[in-house]
Structure 1
Amino acid sequence: MLGGIVLLCLCVCVASGHYGRSDGISLDPKVPEEILEDARLKVPALVRKYGYPLEEHRVTTADGYILTVHRIPHGRDAGNGTTDRPVVFIMHGLMSSSADWVLMGPNKGLAYILAEDGFDVWLGNARGTRYSRQHIKLNPDSGAEFWNFSWDEIGNIDLPAMIDYALDKSNKKRLHYIGHSQGTTSFWVMCSLRPDYNQKIISMNALAPVAYLTYNTVPLLKEISLFSTVFDKLSNLIGVGEILPITNSLVMRWAGEKLCSDTAVFQEICTDIIFLIGGWNSLEFNRTMFPVILAHTPAGASVRQFTHYGQVMHSGSFRRFNHLGFWNYKIYGTWDPPLYDLSQVKAPVFLRYSLSDPLAHVDDVERLAKELGNLKAKTSIPLSSFSHLDFMWGINAKKLVYDQVIADMRRMEESL
Structure 2
Amino acid sequence: MIALAPICFLQNTKYPVSIAIQNAPLLNALANRIGLTEVLGDKTTLRRILFKICSLPVLGYAICAFGLYFPLFGYDPAELEPDFFKDTASYFPSGSSWKSVGHYLQVGYRKEFALYDYGSQINLKVYNNSAPPAYDMSRVTMPVALLAGRNDHLSTIEDIDILRKRLSNIVSYFVVPRLLLNHVDHVWGRHMYVYLYPELFKLLSQYR
TM-score norm. by structure 2 comes to 0.90
Q: Deviations over 1:212-261 (max 9, x none)?
A: 111111x2222222332443343334332000121145444322332xx2
Give the structure 2 partner of residue 298 of structure 1.
93
2:4 is the counterpart of 1:210:
no
Count of aligned pairs between the two proteins? 205
2:118 is the counterpart of 1:323:
yes
Aligned-residue sequence identity (percent) comes to 25
Q: Write the letter of the residue equivalent to 1:378.
A: Y
Rounded to whole Å, the distance in 1 between the matches of 2:197 and 2:83 is 22
2:75 is the counterpart of 1:280:
yes
Rounded to whole Å, the distance in 2 between the matches of 1:265 and 1:320 is 41
2:35 is the counterpart of 1:244:
no
Bigger RCO of structures 1 and 2 (CA < 8 A, at least 6 apart): 2
Q: Deviations over 1:242-297 (max 9, x none)?
A: 00121145444322332xx2xx3453333212111110112111111122111111
Rounded to whole Å, the distance in 1 between the matches of 2:193 and 2:141 is 28
2:54 is the counterpart of 1:256:
yes
Classify the secondary structure of the residue corresponding to 2:171: strand
Classify the secondary structure of the residue corresponding to 1:321: coil
Measured on the aligned residues, the alpha-carbon RMSD in Å equals 1.8
Q: Write the letter of the residue equivalent to 2:36.
A: V
For structure 1, the 5+ residue unaligned runs are 1-203
Q: Write the letter of the residue equivalent to 2:64.
A: C
Per-residue deviation at 1:363?
1.1
For structure 2, the 5+ residue unaligned runs are none
Could you tell me whether the CA contact under 8 Å between 2:53 and 2:64 is conserved in 1?
no
Q: Per the alignment, do residues 268 and 238 of structure 1 end up closer, same or farther by CA in structure 2, a change over 3 Å counting?
A: closer
Give the structure 2 partner of residue 373 of structure 1.
168
> Which runs of structure 2 are paired with 1:73-88 in the superposition (5 Å)?
none
Rounded to whole Å, the distance in 2 between the matches of 1:376 and 1:290 is 34
Classify the secondary structure of the residue corresponding to 2:124: helix
Larger radius of gyration: 1
Q: Deviations over 1:193-221 (max 9, x none)?
A: xxxxxxxxxxx11001111111111x222
> Which runs of structure 2 are paired with 1:10-409 in the superposition (5 Å)?
204-217=1-14, 219-248=15-44, 250-258=48-56, 261=57, 264-265=58-59, 267-273=61-67, 274-409=69-204
Rounded to whole Å, the distance in 2 between the matches of 1:253 and 1:225 is 26
Classify the secondary structure of the residue corresponding to 2:206: helix
Per-residue deviation at 1:403?
3.4
Could you tell me whether the CA contact under 8 Å between 1:256 and 1:292 is conserved in 2?
no
Classify the secondary structure of the residue corresponding to 1:364: helix
Q: Write the letter of the residue equivalent to 1:300.
A: G
Of Structure 1 and Structure 2, which has the larger fraction of its residues in strand?
A: 1
Classify the secondary structure of the residue corresponding to 1:319: coil
Rounded to whole Å, the distance in 2 between the matches of 1:386 and 1:380 is 10
